[in-house]
Amino acid sequence: MTPALCIVLHDVAPATWSACERVCRYVQSLAPAHAPLPMTLLAVPQYHGCSPSPLFERWLDVAAARGDELVLHGYTHRDDGAPRGWLDHARRRWYTAGEGEFAALSQREATQRLRAGMSWFAQHGWPLHGFVAPAWLLSEGSWNALDELGFAYTCTLGGLVALPSRERLRSQSIVYSCRSAWRRAVSLGWNAAVARHERDQPLLRLELHPCDAEHPRVLSSWLGLLEEALRKRRALTLAHAAAECFGAHDGTALLGANAR
C-alpha cells in the first residue's frame, strides 16, 4: 500500500455543525488548488438524543457529493447502560465522558441501533461502507452485529479492521483530548510522539473532533502534523484505505447512492 493518510472528523451532528465546518475549513486550507482533501465524516443520527436537521442533512449531501465519505458513528453517541465494577465505570464514565454507546451492548441491542442508523443513511441515499463506534469501544455483541449486517470495516483506537474477517492493519490514531487544560497539554506531547512512531506505517489516521479548532496550541499542533503528512502521503477516505489495505473488499457500499 502506498503511504496513505485518513483525515477523520468525529461527532458530526447538528449540535456540532458550526464547529465541524470550522475544522473542515482549516483542513482544506492545506489542500492543493481546486482539489479538496477527501475527509471521512463520522455522522451521528440522533446525537445526545437530538433530532436530525434538514439543513444539516443537506450539508452532508454536499459533502458526500464532493467526495467525502459519510460513516455511521453510533446512534445517540451516549452510553445509557450501567457500568459493571470500578474499571468498567472508569472506562465508560471517565475516559469517554459517558459517550461509549456501543461499549456494553448485546448483539440484539447493537443490531437495533445499527439498523436505525442504516435507515437514516438509506433515507438520504448516502453510501455506507463502515461503522466507527464512539470512543472506538465495541462489545463482543456489537462486533457480531457488525459482521452480520455486512459492514466492510470498522476502526479501533489502534487500527483499521476489515469485516467480517476482522483482519487488522495497525494504525495508531492521532487524537487530541480537549476536555481540560491538562489533557490538552498531554495530547500535544503524546501526538507528536505517535506521529514519529507511525511515520513508516502504511496508514496514518488523524482523528479530529469539533473542538480541535478552538484551542490555538491544539490547532497549531494538528495542522503542523497534517501539513507534514501531506508531503509524503495520499489523502484517502477510510473506505478507500480499507479497500486498498485488505483487497478482498471491492469498495461496494453496504448502502448505495441510489438507496433513497
Instruction: Give the tens place of pLDDT for each residue, 153-193.
Output: 999 999 999 999 999 999 999 999 998 899 999 999 999 99
What confidence tier does 253 reach under pLDDT thresholds 50, 70, 90? confident
> pTM of the prediction?
0.91
Output DSSP code: residue 105. Answer: -
- The pLDDT of 63-90, averaged and rounded, is 79
Say how far apart CA 52 and CA 15 lie, in whole Å: 9
Cell digits for 58?
443537506
Question: Given this model, what pLDDT does residue 2 score?
Answer: 86
**Confidence grade of residue 260 (pLDDT, cut at 50, 70, 90):** very low
Bigger pLDDT: 52 or 23? 23
Q: Using a pLDDT cut of 70, give the percent of the chain over it.
A: 88
Give residues with Cβ within 8 angstroms of 81, minimum separation 6: 92, 103, 104, 105
- Who's near 101: CB < 8 A, 6+ residues apart? 74, 75, 76, 77, 78, 79, 80, 113, 133, 134
140, 108 Cβ separation under 8 angstroms: no
Provide the pLDDT confidence category of residue 86 given band limits of 50, 70 and 90. low
Asked whether residue 249 carries a pLDDT value surpassing 80, the answer given is no
Q: How far apart are CA 162 and CA 172, in angstroms?
A: 16
